[in-house]
């Protein structure tokens, strides 16, 4: 077999062929994994909804609607109903003020505005420090509190929230995300159960 001469034309042709094969492989893998990834994200949200609102018998994901935050974006609201009576709202909320950027939470509220529970959907906080916001010792201090009369601020800022040691920025960001969810529900004028 004759050796191919190394010319600019041959190099461009070889690289183009390699790029074409690689992009075709990436496209195939993307299409193959797209549906399982979407199902995994959906399952994670549905599980989070179950953790943050009282017991319900509807499908909150099917009843989901969006409310504007007043900051140029909107949040997804998942109403939880027990026999068509609203028992709570799960709010997919976020903040960009984390130590390492974006933090996404699912916050659950009763119709009167009190917090049922909060779970973390995604974050990139420092392991061993900011990641402690997922632990009960930190997040359970919000349970059954109503942001109407419970300031969502850490003690350093004059509020009642005990910040995570050495992770005050993460603690402030957590409070910010919960406050955004509460404010959005209040602006949407969702207060009392629908009968």
Q: What percent of the chain has pLDDT over 70?
A: 95
100: its two tokens: 């390492």
Residue 3 lies in a domain: no
CA dist., res. 151 & res. 158, Å (int): 9
Domain annotation covers residue 161: yes
Q: CA angle, 55 as apex, 53 and 61 as ends, to 5°?
A: 65
User: Does residue 112 form part of some domain?
Assistant: yes
Residue 110 has pLDDT above 90, yes or no: yes
134: in domain: yes
Domain span holding position 120:
51-187
Counting every residue written for the chain, the total comes to 195
Evaluate whether 84 touches 147 at the Cβ level (below 8 Å): no
Per-residue pLDDT tens for 51-107?
999 999 998 888 999 999 988 899 999 999 999 899 999 999 999 988 888 999 999
Report if residue 2 sits inside a domain: no
Q: In this predicted model, what pLDDT tens digit does every residue of 158-172 receive, in sequence order?
A: 999 998 888 899 999
On whether residue 108 sits in a domain, the answer given is yes
What integer is the mean pLDDT of 176-180? 95
pLDDT score of 1 more than 80: no
* 160 falls within a domain: yes
pLDDT confidence of 38, banded at 50, 70, 90?
Answer: confident
**Total count of domains within the chain:** 1
Residue 76: CB partners within 8 Å, gap ≥ 6?
64, 65, 66, 91, 92
Question: Is residue 23 situated within a structural domain?
Answer: no
């Amino acid at each position: 077999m004759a050796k191919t001469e190394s010319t600019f034309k041959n190099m461009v042709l070889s690289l183009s062929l390699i790029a074409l094969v690689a992009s075709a492989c990436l496209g195939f893998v993307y299409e193959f994994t797209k549906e399982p990834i979407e199902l995994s994200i959906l399952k994670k949200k549905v599980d989070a909804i179950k953790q943050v609102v009282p017991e319900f018998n509807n499908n909150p994901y099917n009843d989901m609607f969006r409310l504007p935050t007043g900051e140029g974006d909107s949040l997804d609201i998942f109403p939880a109903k027990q026999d068509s009576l609203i028992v709570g709202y799960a709010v997919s909320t976020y903040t960009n003020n984390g130590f390492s950027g974006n933090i996404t939470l699912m916050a659950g509220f009763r119709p009167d505005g009190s917090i049922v529970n909060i779970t973390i959907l995604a974050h990139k906080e420092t392991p061993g420090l900011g990641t402690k916001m997922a632990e009960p010792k930190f997040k359970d201090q919000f349970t059954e509190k109503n942001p109407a009369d419970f300031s969502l601020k850490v003690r350093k800022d004059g509020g009642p929230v005990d910040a995570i040691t050495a992770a005050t920025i993460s603690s402030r960001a957590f409070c910010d995300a919960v406050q955004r969810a509460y404010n959005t529900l209040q602006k949407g004028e969702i207060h009392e159960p629908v009968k």
